[in-house]
Amino acid sequence: MRIALRLLLACLLIAGSAQVPAVPAPPERAPYTLPDVEQIPLVASGSGREYRILVATPPLPPPPGGYPVIYVLDGNNMFLTTMETVRAYARRLDDAVKQRALVVGIGYPPGTDLPEARTYDLTPDGHAPAGRHRTGGAPAFLAFIEDDLKPVIAREYPVDPAQQSLIGHSLAGQFVLDTLIRRPDAFQTYVAMSSSFWFGDHALPAHIDAFADARSGSDPPRRILLTVGQHEERPPPSAWVEDPAKGRHILERLRHRGQVTHARRSAQRLAAAPGMVVDFAEIAGEDHGTVIPASIARGVAFILTGPVEIPPVPSAAQYMALGPEGRYRLRMQVRALPDPHRIPWLARLKSTLQSGLDADTRRQLHDERQRMDREFGSEPHAPRREEPASAPAVAD
């Protein structure tokens, strides 16, 4: 027994004296630098406020006319998502040449009180302060973009002055619409995400109405996308599960703001104005904050897709003369239109065909459309239902 213990002790001593492998030191950490992104400090000549401008250049050379430019408001928070979305389009194999764009984020230097700075810069003048933050700096901020920032970008980068876009969310979405109203010549494309229609006692919708009424056929064409989250006017189901009283409070506040109602109505009013190509997207399942990535994706797609042609509504005889393939191509062209233009177009075509064709011919056209959609896999996506179609009605 003693001999066994001595042998075990000797083995332990030998093992303990063996060379223990050294643990490698952790790799040295360093800040990550984004490729093809530059930072430009810029001071507004009018207000003296300092800004931090972030510029992402495309990985492809510019087209002959120069890069399209996407100006991103709230650059501290929105620039990276917008930049990567644009680069995702550039990586696509199809139409890659068309998807090149310079992304310019308009942000603030470190140490800036962001809520204070953005509230002032993004709100129009003539209104009471929003909480503890002063308001009314939008005219000066727009002057900075037009008089200071754009000349620097045009001097330092090959850009196309005829392809300039502005994108913003919340108060920045309101700034986008306010810019469209004040200076429609500033940009060719406007993307207003979850615009703060409530600000200034809901003054924005009336300004949009006046702008739409004043448009004439001689005004240059403009493109505008308005997006909003489904739960920006009604709370999600979880709000009622957690606390019904809280759910009712949220519902009253959201209904007062009327984000979805105002966005949809504004899209309709602008779409009816001459020379305006307008799209509207109510994004399912999202609220005012969570809708941002999806809205940016919709906005970038809207910008990079470029202008769309709205075809004239054919007469019944012209529609029949197109033949099955011609009718299918026309249907695909119309389905690609933004909703505020597609829906009225289809209503006019339906009225034309009902008055110009008999019931049997219209039924044959209906069967033709369904057959070709099945053949080419182009069936329209069915909207999501919150209840099964067969579910019994539930009394309130």
Residues labelled catalytic: 170, 232, 288
Q: What gap in Å lies between CA 83 and CA 77, rounded to an integer?
A: 11
| Nearest in space to 149 (alpha carbons), one of 117, 209, 106, 114 | 106
Task: Report residue 129 as tokens.
Answer: 């302060």
Q: What gap in Å lies between CA 57 and CA 102, rounded to an integer?
A: 5
Q: What gap in Å lies between CA 144 and CA 353, rounded to an integer?
A: 52
CB 34: neighbour CB atoms within 10 A?
Answer: 13
Strand partners, 382: none
Which H helix or E strand runs over 67?
strand 67-72
Q: What gap in Å lies between CA 26 and CA 53, rounded to an integer?
A: 34
The beta-strand segments (E) located in 173-330 are 189-193, 222-229, 276-283
Q: What gap in Å lies between CA 51 and CA 42, rounded to an integer?
A: 5
Number of alpha carbons in the 13 Å side-chain half-sphere of residue 223: 23
Q: Are strands 189-193 and 222-229 parallel, antiparallel or unpaired?
A: parallel
